[in-house]
A and B are shown apart, each in its own frame.
Chain A
Amino acid sequence: MRAFTRGLIGIAGFLALWELLGRSPLLPADSLPPPSVVFGELVRQLISPDFISHVVATVLAVLIAIGIAIAIAVPSGLVLGSVPAVRHATRAVIEFLRPIPSVALIPLALVMLGFGPETKITLAVYAALWPILFNTIYALDELDPLLVETSRVFGTGRVGVLFRVALPSALPFVLTGIRLAATTALIVLVSVELMAGADIGLGYFIMEARSGPGRMDQVLVGTVVAGVIGVLLNNGLERVRRRWVAW
């Protein structure tokens, strides 16, 4: 409760600072609308079906991207983590691909995939793969040999060890990877929506508000909502981890 109270004080302090800065003559007029204005606009937007559809589009794309990333990265991680030969063979390629910023792939993706939602989802999947993949591999490295020996003594075969021992034992690490991946996927999605001329999504909403009517209050509404989605994703997945894999 004390931590919660302190958190509230922190937020209140941040809002006060923002309000002050927004109303100060240091910044050009209307470049940073104060929170009192932004939250007024937020309430208006939250009842606008148009805005809601932008939010839904982005959230849905995040969820799809995470789902696909999990479906690719977890099995790949299990193979790479348990078969050293495959891991050594793919190391150079992975080390090359991993540091490429997803945003740098936007032109390539646009040419290959066009302007539909598959472009932003593909790029988000690309970004979200790595934390899940590396956490899965790392988890298999950390797999306690005694657990494996115990199961082998009780007659468990290689495949049985993979599914009954390695996978459950890796689960906490994998979930941490998914949590990191979710935030990354959100960042990439909003970036692509902003830059690649999508026609729906939070990033598109932000871009439209700035370039059209120059409504900075709406820009900040989009930013705040994107931040809230990020916090909800992160906390939700952390709760899932604590509830289901609390060892």
Chain B
Amino acid sequence: MSNMLEVADLGHTYGDYEAIGGLTFTVRAGELVCVVGPSGCGKSTLLRTISGLIAPSRGDVSLKGSHLAVVFQDYQRSLFPWLTVQGNVEFPLRSLPRAERRARAAEALEWVGLSAAAKKRPWQLSGGMQQRVAIARALAFRPALLLMDEPFASVDAQTRFELEDLLLRVRREHDTTVLVVTHDIDESVYLGDRILVLSKSPAKLVADLEVPLPAERDQVTTRTDEAFVALRSRVARLLNVGGKPAVDVEKWAAAERESLSETVSS
């Protein structure tokens, strides 16, 4: 499989503060890779350098394909309030003829199940629906790479599960290459084909882990799967390198597994 994104010795420094300390990794076509790291580890800087919003101090980012799309955590601030949902999804497609723009936006809205809301304004929708609009906008752009910055961190737990499954479905249906930046260990294991674990700032690559789970995932059964629990614990331990773990991750995992199976059986 060819590489969609190649990052080589990427480093970034703000004044004296080194945010990223030399990262090398690749994302293959059609793959969903999660970047997970402690908060303040330079994940946002990584995302901004990959997306071209800031030029990195050193290293290379090369993208196969002409453009990428970003879905930000803060959907409320990332959607244009003066445009309709349809208008928001059409925003990146300005260079296309009107009819094609329309068609692509309608198609993308259908993928995320929002065809009925096309004429509404973003602020008339719930948080989860707004983030679906942002996802539709990114997909309509047909990016070589879909970058997501903590995409589900601002919605409630129920909506979060729905959006995670929606992401897994659309990226499977449309063979999208995705890079998700998150601080949530469970989310990284649930979504990812591969997980890149970063150290605290200056961010370095601690581990590059394959996720040994089937492509079809389910919020209840996957999260209780032995492989899921084991990988989650491993990532949690990796994130605490050099420091004492804040919680006994194994014990916590076991307790949660138990409570989850209780919920299911009742």
A residues with a Cβ closer than 8 A to B are 144, 146-147, 149-156, 160, 164-165, 168-169, 171, 245, 247
B14 part of interface (Cβ distance < 8 Å): no
- Binary contact track B79-105/A, C-beta < 8 Å → 1, others 0: 011100000000110100000000000
| Contact residues, B61-92 vs A (CB, 8 A) | 67-70, 72, 74, 77-78, 80-82, 91-92
Which residues of B are found within 8 Å of A168, using beta-carbon distances? 80, 82
Instruction: Give 12 new A-B contacts, CB below 8 A, not counting A146-B74, A151-B91, A169-B80.
Output: A147-B80, A150-B72, A152-B53, A153-B52, A153-B53, A153-B70, A154-B67, A154-B69, A154-B91, A154-B141, A168-B80, A168-B82
Which residues of B are found within 8 Å of A245, using beta-carbon distances? 82
Do A247 and B81 touch across chains, with their CB atoms under 8 A apart?
yes
Give the nearest-CB partner of B70 in chain A: A153
Q: Please list 6 pairs of residues, one from A and one from B, whose beta carbons are closer than 8 Å in the complex, sorted by A's number.
A: A150-B72, A153-B69, A155-B67, A155-B92, A169-B81, A245-B82
How far is the CB of A145 from the nearest CB of chain B, in Å? 9
Which residues of A are found within 8 Å of B53, using beta-carbon distances? 149, 152-153
How far is the CB of A81 from the nearest CB of chain B, in Å? 18
Which residues of B are found within 8 Å of A147, using beta-carbon distances? 77-78, 80
Q: In the complex, what distance in Å separates the CA atom of A168 from the CA atom of B83?
A: 9
Task: Give 3 nearest A-B pairs by CB, closest first.
Answer: A154-B92, A247-B81, A146-B77
How far is the CB of A161 from the nearest CB of chain B, in Å? 12
B51 part of interface (Cβ distance < 8 Å): yes
Asked if A150 meets B123 with Cβ closer than 8 Å, knowing A155-B67, A155-B92, the reply is no
| Contact residues, B138-176 vs A (CB, 8 A) | 141
How far is the CB of B107 from the nearest CB of chain A, in Å? 17
Q: In the complex, what distance in Å separates the CA atom of A160 from the CA atom of B52?
A: 17
Which residues of B are found within 8 Å of A171, using beta-carbon distances? 82
Give the nearest-CB partner of A172 in chain B: B82
Q: In the complex, what distance in Å separates the CA atom of A164 from the CA atom of B90?
A: 12
Q: In the complex, what distance in Å separates the CA atom of A155 from the CA atom of B144?
A: 14
How far is the CB of A58 from the nearest CB of chain B, in Å? 34
Which residues of A are found within 8 Å of B51, using beta-carbon distances? 153
Give the nearest-CB partner of A160 in chain B: B94
How far is the CB of B51 from the nearest CB of chain A, in Å? 5
A interface: dominant SS: helix
Asked if A150 meets B78 with Cβ closer than 8 Å, knowing A155-B67, A155-B92, the reply is yes
How far is the CB of A127 from the nearest CB of chain B, in Å? 29
Q: In the complex, what distance in Å separates the CA atom of A156 from the CA atom of B72?
A: 17
Q: In the complex, what distance in Å separates the CA atom of A207 from the CA atom of B91?
A: 56
Q: In the complex, what distance in Å separates the CA atom of A84 from the CA atom of B125?
A: 36
Asked if A165 meets B72 with Cβ closer than 8 Å, knowing A149-B53, A247-B121, the reply is no
Do A169 and B77 touch across chains, with their CB atoms under 8 A apart?
no
Q: In the complex, what distance in Å separates the CA atom of A155 from the CA atom of B121?
A: 23
Asked if A169 meets B141 with Cβ closer than 8 Å, knowing A146-B77, A154-B92, A247-B123, the reply is no
Do B72 and A169 touch across chains, with their CB atoms under 8 A apart?
no
How far is the CB of B108 from the nearest CB of chain A, in Å? 13
Which residues of B are found within 8 Å of A247, using beta-carbon distances? 81-82, 121, 123
Q: In the complex, what distance in Å separates the CA atom of A185 from the CA atom of B17?
A: 52
Q: In the complex, what distance in Å separates the CA atom of A160 from the CA atom of B94?
A: 10
Which residues of B are found within 8 Å of A165, using beta-carbon distances? 80
Q: In the complex, what distance in Å separates the CA atom of A146 from the CA atom of B94?
A: 19
Give the nearest-CB partner of A145 in chain B: B77
How far is the CB of A73 from the nearest CB of chain B, in Å? 21
Which residues of A are found within 8 Å of B52, using beta-carbon distances? 153
Give the nearest-CB partner of B81 in chain A: A247
Q: In the complex, what distance in Å separates the CA atom of A94 from the CA atom of B82?
A: 31
Give the nearest-CB partner of A152 in chain B: B53
Q: In the complex, what distance in Å separates the CA atom of A80 from the CA atom of B210?
A: 52
Q: In the complex, what distance in Å separates the CA atom of A164 from the CA atom of B78?
A: 14
Do B82 and A169 touch across chains, with their CB atoms under 8 A apart?
yes
Which residues of B are found within 8 Å of A152, using beta-carbon distances? 53
Give the nearest-CB partner of A155 in chain B: B67
Give the nearest-CB partner of B73 in chain A: A146
Which interface residue of A150, A160, A171 has the most chain B CB atoms within 10 A? A150
Q: In the complex, what distance in Å separates the CA atom of A235 from the CA atom of B92?
A: 37
How far is the CB of A191 from the nearest CB of chain B, in Å? 37
Which residues of A are found within 8 Å of B82, using beta-carbon distances? 168-169, 171, 245, 247
Do B78 and A146 touch across chains, with their CB atoms under 8 A apart?
yes
Which residues of A are found within 8 Å of B81, using beta-carbon distances? 169, 247
How far is the CB of B138 from the nearest CB of chain A, in Å? 9
Q: In the complex, what distance in Å separates the CA atom of A229 from the CA atom of B233?
A: 72
Which residues of A are found within 8 Å of B121, using beta-carbon distances? 247
Which residues of A are found within 8 Å of B91, using beta-carbon distances? 151, 154, 164
Q: In the complex, what distance in Å separates the CA atom of A147 from the CA atom of B83?
A: 12
Q: In the complex, what distance in Å separates the CA atom of A164 from the CA atom of B74?
A: 20
